[in-house]
Amino acid sequence: MKPLYIDKSARKYQSFPVHQHKVWEITVNLTGSGIATVAGQEYPFREGTIFCVAPGVPHGKVSPDGFIDGSLMLLDFTPPGDASVYQFEDDFNGTFRYLFDLMFDILMKDDHNAQAIINSLAEAMYQIMVSWSAAGHRNTTVERFQKTLLDNLSNCDFDLSAAAKELGYSSSYFRKLFKSFTGHSPVNYFNRLRIEYAKRQIQQYFGFRSMQEIARSSGFDDPYYFSRVFRQFTGMNPLKYGKETSILKAKKINGEHLVR
């Protein structure tokens, strides 16, 4: 995906008149909130709101307090569906905005190989939108909690129930909410994350780090519980998994230890 044009508002606008383009436009709202009119239909926007508008579709924005946005013009854009307008909300990490800001900075600094880097960042932004489109409806509370879980993968003292309680929901309601968006209970989802992390640790460090160290680095203080949960998700114990998947198996050739 190659952007033809990249721009960021130089000042706050309280309104931007209805207009249209001959190419696809992607906008990400950087500050402010208001109402966007696209193809005659009104859409509320806020910081982090993203619009993808097809060629020839009229669109404009109004914001009482002003807004700043960034935009990409794209010729070779394949929409994630058959609509002419797409609206997304950036994730809790602000991933889409981060990629746009990085793209704009590289453009302005004219870094070496800037166009290739910009094209790669645009492709990453596109794949994120495809992922969001496939996921359907999203929930910022669930995404925020997912980020908390990722931040505490290796924290053996992390209290998942206490973290969920801080969100202000009853445990039964939040469990139902979380499962409706992820397909898993919070505990099951967190254990899946930790086991996936443990699998990568075992593949990389089997034979060089103890299984107890790997368990702790994956958030399991009890190696026996770690082994039980690991078997639940993989069908084998960590030791067997390491023997079958390790990429750092030591070999001795002519008396020297080599790593395969």
pTM to 2 decimals?
0.70
- Portions of the chain given CATH number 2.60.120.280: 3-135
Q: What is the CATH number of domain 141-245?
A: 1.10.10.60
Q: What is the mean pLDDT of residues 12-39?
A: 94
Whether domain 3-135 has CATH 2.60.120.280: the reply is: yes
User: 67-76, 77-86, 151-160, 167-176: lowest mean pLDDT where?
Assistant: 77-86
Side-chain half-sphere CA neighbours of 109 within 13 A: 12
User: How would residue 207 be classed by pLDDT, with cut points 50, 70 and 90?
Assistant: confident
Tokens of 70: 């960034």
- Portions of the chain given CATH number 1.10.10.60: 141-245
Burial code (b: 16+ CB inside 10 Å, e: under 16) for 6-16 equals bebbeeebeeb
Contacts of residue 22, defined as CB under 8 A and 6 or more positions apart, other chains included, come to 55, 56
